[in-house]
Amino acid sequence: MKLLHLLPIVSIAALAPAAFVQNAFELKLDKENVVASRLEGVWVLEEEETHRIGGEKQPRGFAFVRDEKAAARIPAKHKELLANDIALCGEVQIERETLPFVLTTAHGNPRVVLFQPAAGDPWATPRGFNVMLCPAMEKQKDKLFV
């Protein structure tokens, strides 16, 4: 009799982790991913180069901070948007605003997806843009194109 009472509890306990795994996003570290391995840090707009290639003058810079645990906090509602691997995640500061971000791909291109808060939800509104990173011999001379 006691065994019958335990079986439903064991079944529920066995199914619960599967539900969490389906909703959780996972960071896939790859040291060969140039953008993921070198994006972290502070990036400042170079006005002369930006003007020469016809780029925007805003924002004036980014500061990317890695937080490998951030992937687990992404709500499941973004499953389709983030269907590809997440190569990097954390927070990015743009001017005076700090937002959660992920680095993924879209059609083979590196893509940063920022999440803007709304109604108390820090992951409410995703906004993405493609990036290209040209690595230099010295990391501080790398070029980030947004």
Per-residue H/E/C for 22-62:
HHCCCECCCCCCHHHHHCCEEEECCHHHHHHCCCCCCCCEE
State the pLDDT at residue 24: 64
Task: Encode pLDDT of 57-107 as tens digits.
Answer: 667 888 999 998 988 888 888 877 777 788 999 999 998 899 999 999 999
Domain ranges of the chain: 26-145
Checking if the pLDDT of 14 tops 80, the result is no
Single pTM value for the model = 0.76
Q: In what order do the strands lie in the sheet with 109-118?
A: 41-44, 61-66, 88-94, 97-106, 109-118, 121-130
Q: Report residue 134 as tokens.
A: 């040209």
Residues contacting 125, CB < 8 A, separation 6+: 115, 116, 117, 118
Q: For residues 52 and 19, which has the higher predicted lDDT (pLDDT)?
A: 52
For the chain, the average pLDDT equals: 79
Q: How confident is the model at residue 20 (pLDDT cuts 50, 70, 90)?
A: very low
Residues contacting 105, CB < 8 A, separation 6+: 84, 85, 87, 111
Most confident of 4-8, 54-58, 131-135: 131-135
